[in-house]
Amino acid sequence: MCSLNSDDAASLGIQDGEIIELYNPRGHVLASARVTDTVMPGVVQLPTGAWYDPVDPTALRPLCRHGNPNVLTLDIGTSSLTQGCSGQITVVQVRKYAGELTPVQAFIPPQS
């Protein structure tokens, strides 16, 4: 679930609970919209926790149907001493999702 400001949602034609797409040059993720005034205008909040579930695992700019924000952020460690994750802040665009919704596959074991 992605939280976005009510003024931003209104300007994008997004209603609470609709599926939205967050995207940038690294990839795309889908999430349900949570329209609220607890997030500043121009800011979206997408919590971590969703399993990576790409529609096409070979895509250079993957579309994660389960909403994993790591698709949108840099994959670099905090320093050469430690490889903890760096701050999960990035620039994204937001739009109402107009594509086909496919079932989440993250919890289905691969067939061998």
Domains in the chain with CATH codes: 2-96 (2.40.40.20)
Stronger pLDDT, 72 or 110, i.e. the higher one: 72
Stronger pLDDT, 43 or 49, i.e. the higher one: 43
The whole model's pTM is what?
Answer: 0.85
Query: Each residue of 70-107: pLDDT tens digit?
Result: 899 887 777 777 766 666 788 999 999 999 888 888 88
For residue 91, the surrounding DSSP H or E stretch is none
Nearest CA to 2 out of 37, 35, 26, 28 is that of: 35
Hunting for tokens 């790409």 — which residue is that?
54
Query: Each residue of 16-39: pLDDT tens digit?
Result: 999 999 999 999 999 999 999 999
Query: Each residue of 45-71: pLDDT tens digit?
Result: 999 878 899 999 899 999 999 999 989
Q: Is the pLDDT of residue 15 over 70?
A: yes
SS3 36: strand
Nearest CA to 67 out of 36, 35, 94 is that of: 94
Q: How confident is the model at residue 106, as a pLDDT?
A: 81
Which residues lie closer than 8 Å to 92 by C-beta, 6 or more apart? 22, 23, 24, 44, 72
Nearest CA to 64 out of 73, 49, 53, 56 is that of: 53
Decide: residue 71, CB within 10 A, 0-12 exposed, 13-18 middle, 19+ buried.
buried
Q: How confident is the model at residue 111, as a pLDDT?
A: 75
Q: How confident is the model at residue 87, as a pLDDT?
A: 64
| Token couple for 12 | 């994008």
